[in-house]
Homo-oligomer: A and B are copies of this chain.
Amino acid sequence: MSATSPTLSVFTRDAALAAKAAGAGLRDAPGETRAAILGDLAAALERADVREAVFAANARDMERAKADAAQGTLAPALINRLGIDAKKMVGLSDGLRQLAAMIDLVGGVTLRRELDDGLILERVTCPLGLIGVVFEARPDALIQIAGIALRTGNAVLLKGGREAEDSNRALTDVIHDVLRKHGIDVRVAVLLEDRAAVAAVLEQDGIVDLIVARGSTEFVHHVQKSTRIPVMAHAAGICHLYLHRAADPAMAAALAVDSKMTYPAACNALETLLWDEGAETALDASVKALAAAGVELRGCAETRARHPSLVPATDADWDTEYGAAILAIRRVRGIDQALAHIATHGSRHTESIVTSDDAAAQRFLSAVDAAGVYHNASTRFSDGYRYGLGAEVGISTDKLHARGPVGADGLLTYRWLLHGSGQRTADYGAGGKRFKHRDLPT
Whether the pair B255, A372 counts as a contact (CB closer than 8 A) is no
Whether the pair B426, A262 counts as a contact (CB closer than 8 A) is yes
Interface residue A418 (Cβ < 8 Å from any Cβ of B): yes
Whether the pair B398, A230 counts as a contact (CB closer than 8 A) is yes
Cα A404 to Cα B425 with chains together (Å): 17
Cα A209 to Cα B401 with chains together (Å): 13
Residues of B within 8 A of A248 (CB): 422
Interface residue A198 (Cβ < 8 Å from any Cβ of B): no
Residues of B within 8 A of A121 (CB): 387-388
Interface residue A219 (Cβ < 8 Å from any Cβ of B): no
Interface residue A419 (Cβ < 8 Å from any Cβ of B): yes
Taking A380-B425, A400-B400 as contacts, is the C-beta distance between A87 and B420 under 8 angstroms?
A: no
A415 touches which one: B90, B403, B416 (CB < 8 A)?
B403
Copies of this subunit = 2
Interface residue A81 (Cβ < 8 Å from any Cβ of B): no
Whether the pair A119, B416 counts as a contact (CB closer than 8 A) is no
Q: B-facing mask of A150-182, CB < 8 A → 1, else 0?
A: 000000000000000000000000000000000
Chain A interface: which size bin? 35 or more
Whether the pair B400, A210 counts as a contact (CB closer than 8 A) is yes
A129 touches which one: B28, B399, B415 (CB < 8 A)?
B399
Residues of B within 8 A of A109 (CB): none
Q: A262-B425, A376-B420, A386-B435 are in contact. List 16 more A-B contacts (CB 8 A).
A: A24-B367, A119-B381, A258-B424, A258-B425, A372-B416, A372-B418, A374-B417, A375-B417, A375-B420, A376-B422, A378-B424, A381-B420, A381-B423, A382-B416, A403-B415, A404-B415
Q: Which residues of A contact B (CB under 8 A)?
A: 24, 28, 87, 90, 113, 115, 119, 121, 128-129, 209-210, 230, 248, 251, 254-255, 257-258, 262, 365-378, 380-382, 386-388, 398-401, 403-405, 413-426, 428, 430, 435, 437
